[in-house]
Amino acid sequence: MKPIIALNLKSYPESLGKGGLELVRIAREVSKETGVRVIVAPQAVDLAAAAKMHRDIFAQHVDSQRQGAYTGWLTCEAIKSAGCIGSLVNHSEHRLSEEAIAATIARLKEAGLESMLCTKDTQESVRLARYRPTFIAVEPPELIGSGISVSTAKPEVVSGTVEAVARVKGPPVLCGAGVSTGSDVKKAIELGAAGVLLASAYVKAKNPRKLLAEMAAAIE
């Protein structure tokens, strides 16, 4: 599998509405130009508009609740109807119980959607791999938003998780937390990662297109 880049736009003011859709447009163009798969997770209110622009749209979160007389839940069917092809699960800023993780991944599979399960370390990655998400993205929480890439600060977390998950025949492993440059991406791939997950470095970049192009070039 060719390495992928996953972009979590979070709830930043810069990624809401027109700003967020511009970031999606850039991702679509860079993906088309380079052949690198670029997944984008916009804010919930922008999912439908984003999906009309780019095929690789994920929700940032989805609930395992089924459709029905329930208020305030974001169902798998709802994000699929909006055009999403998957969702992040258990991001460090939106942690779930193991029971909820299992149920959410199962519901995503049932709906024909992909799942990117976020984990905090190697041990959690191995434990949760049993639920067979499409991807695992290991992100040490202390490095998220730090600008210090996990592939540089804690390379053993990346290589160790890749090897440990492979031993239990788990899914491809991406890495995240502090990924900010093309060099960070190149190092992650060298350590065995199947790609990277990043957020603030892209959303807040002065030139997000230049940054994303450099990251894609590091994969090529």
Which tokens hold the place of 181?
């440059």
- If one counts every other C-beta atom within 10 angstroms of the C-beta of residue 129, the result is 22
- 29 in active site: no
Helix (H, G, I), strand (E, B) or coil at 73: coil
Cα–Cα dist 40/55, whole Å: 9
Residues 6+ apart with CB under 8 A from 209: 26, 29, 30
Length of the chain: 220
Annotated active-site residue in 99, 124, 139, 214: 139
Question: Residue 114's beta-bridge partner residues?
Answer: 86
In angstroms, the Cα distances linking 214 to 23, 176, 185, 191, 207 are: 15, 17, 9, 19, 11
Query: Is 94 exposed, middle or buried, given 0-12, 13-18 or 19+ CB atoms closer than 10 A?
Result: exposed
Candidates 33, 91, 99, 110; catalytic one: 91
Q: Which helix (H) or strand (E) holds 175?
A: strand 173-176
Active site residue 139: yes
Q: Active-site positions?
A: 91, 139
